[in-house]
Amino acid sequence: VFPALPRPCEHKCSGRLFYPSVHLLFKMVIIKLILHPNQIWSPPRAKKEAPAPPKAEAKAKPLKAKKAVLKGVHSHKKKKIRTSPTFRRPKTLRLRRQPKYPRKSAPRGNKLDHYAIIKFPLTTESAMKKIEDNNTLGFIVDVKANKHQIEQAKLYDIDVAKVNTLIRPNGEKKAYVRLAPDYDALDVANKIGII
């Protein structure tokens, strides 16, 4: 805070060092106080909040991001090994089809509906025996129909317990449909008109 002491001056007359007087030192302190009052004592300053980032730093951030985008994440690209001396131009443009007219006049409908699955009921003697003894009806069905489709066919509106199928020697498919216990095959056969 106080100015440094002036260097001692050597007097040739006396063989000892001479320091300036206290009066001179006090004078120097007063002058310093008048000219530079803040340097002697300054009140404690309030802490400033963190300053906003300078313009240079604000500019550097987007530049850094730009650099990263330009560089990309795939900087270490592996070179493809060429196994053939022939170069074939790659087909890069693959356009979607834009048809000028429909290739089919009408959309294809479902040919195997509930009415096409079951063709007609069987009226043979063996089929009649099955109706009486096993609570089972016999039908000729479409060759492409499976057991699930036969079971779900709503032609006669009955609950089915089990379906057995076989292909006849003449190429038709025969299905033996066992009815649920609460349905009587004889009553259903009468409704259909087999008996």
Task: Please name the residue that has the structure tokens 């479409």.
Answer: 142
What is the CA 185 to chain-centroid distance, rounded?
55
Side-chain half-sphere exposure of 145, counting CA atoms within 13 A: 29
Report the chain's mean pLDDT, rounded to a whole number.
82
According to the model, what pLDDT value does residue 133 have?
94
According to the model, what pLDDT value does residue 81 have?
92
How far is it, in rounded angstroms, from Cα 156 to Cα 132?
18
Instruction: Identify the band that residue 178 occupies on the pLDDT scale cut at 50, 70 and 90.
Output: very high
**pLDDT tens-digit series, residues 71-82:** 777 777 788 899
Instruction: Identify the band that residue 41 occupies on the pLDDT scale cut at 50, 70 and 90.
Output: low
**pLDDT tens-digit series, residues 3-28:** 555 555 554 555 555 555 767 777 88
* pTM for this entry: 0.47
Judged by DSSP in three states, 180 sits in coil
